[in-house]
Structure 1
Amino acid sequence: MDETTSAPRTARQQVRRRRSWLVGALVAAATATAALQGVGIAPADAGISGYRITGTGGVGLKVRTDPYNVNAGVVAVLADGTAFTAECAVRGRNVSGNTVWHRISAPASGWISDFYTTTPGFNQYIPGEPDCANITTRETRALNWAVSVLGQANTNGDLGDSNHPWNGWCDNFVAHAYGRAASGYATAIAHFNDLRNRGLIHSDANPPAGALVFYAAASVNGGAGHVMLSEGNGSYISTAATVRRVSFTWPGAPYIGWAYANPEWSGR
């Protein structure tokens, strides 16, 4: 769904949104009741669920990489009726009078406009939903660390790792970003193959912030492949002679996909 910033809501959209509020309120009430009974409730750090995509007219809602930019990349398109898990919200781009955007972690990770959801209030955060400015994610922490080592040439003992050059250790670098002294893989391409076999690789060219971005095994990387971190805005942090920001393309090795860091990597 291409969200608009100026089109007024039609009477039908207003009725649909009111229905969405009612559905959301009923879900919230059922959730509260279950919580009192001590059944079926995910822990707080698992995000907020119980709401769905609605009102797109069958077109589907785009999950974006940025809640502020109308041209932000699209991670996925969610059909009407799709359940999602919200982690936090911000005030972002205006969509028909609604500026709330939710950062979701399932079934895709990115940003969705509240306008096309069954949440209980129009232009309001979900009850209990934190503001994204007040929390950090493992992806944010990974990127913060990567930015902190821009220009460095060696590990400098981070996480107790030996003081080896970053150049040629790209998979080790992204592991460090997520708080691991080693990735557990011999090469970046082995890492890619494992994530692909687990169904975790995305083939689009819009990797979100903190994603691992992979390039094919080629002569330029000694057949080991290459991986770097997306900043979510068209720039990437990569190993080379020093840690640096680079463009999407990697000379001599074609792009083969991106993935969120391994689910078992808890982060820094």
Structure 2
Amino acid sequence: MKGRPAGGIAVAAALVTGLVAAVPGVAQAYASSATGTINTSGVALNVRSGPSTSWDSWRTVADGATVTLLCQTSGDSVTGTYGTTTMWDFLSNGGMVSDAYVYTGSDGQIVNSCVYVGAEPSSKTNPRSTNGAINWAFQRYRSTSYENLCLAFVAQAYGWGGSGWNTAEIGGDWEAGHGYLNTSGIPPRGALVWYHNSSGTGHVAISLGEGKVIGTSVSGAVGVAGYLDHGSYRGWSVAYFPAAW
């Protein structure tokens, strides 16, 4: 047990819409979001790019702050205020924190599991993993160096020198023409998220999951946005760069 007050469990249960009793062979349903309180006994908590203490710390959240959890995933084991856990919480700002420092009223999972994109074809495996690519992107948070280079940004995030396509419009066309473009559902974590734009060159970003993306051209720099905040949304695909170098 993490030492959370037992009375808080009832509060958490009230917040979790559709929570069902644990029955062998039956999956539990969790809430799509929930609130929690950061408890670090005074210091600010690092918000990281992924579920690991080795990933980039791109901002902090104050002790005592209320946060919104959108999903939970497993990662590095961390010992904190509420004991030791491998659970990490994805926050509404697009980052992750260890659940060991978040009071939710429960020692267990309370929101849906984070959904990751499927693997790219083995014929062209990316040099960098999903969380590795997102970490690379967050290391360039607020950088203006990639403006008008969105396609290079996502390709380099996944470890390539370049995508092999001249524009994101061409890349999106290729994904669509080869059956990789999905037009329904929220883009899963790690997916390439494709857009049309007024110039005809298109745009692409990387999904963080839960409706968030990281990419260029967010107030003129690399940043986090909603996946529908850019212009004309086309859909999402697995992170596949067939012509990358």
TM-score (normalizing by structure 2): 0.50
Query: In terms of Rg, which structure is larger?
Result: 1
TM-score (normalizing by structure 1): 0.46
| Larger RCO (CA within 8 A; separation ≥ 6) | 2
Q: Flag the structure with higher helix content.
A: 1
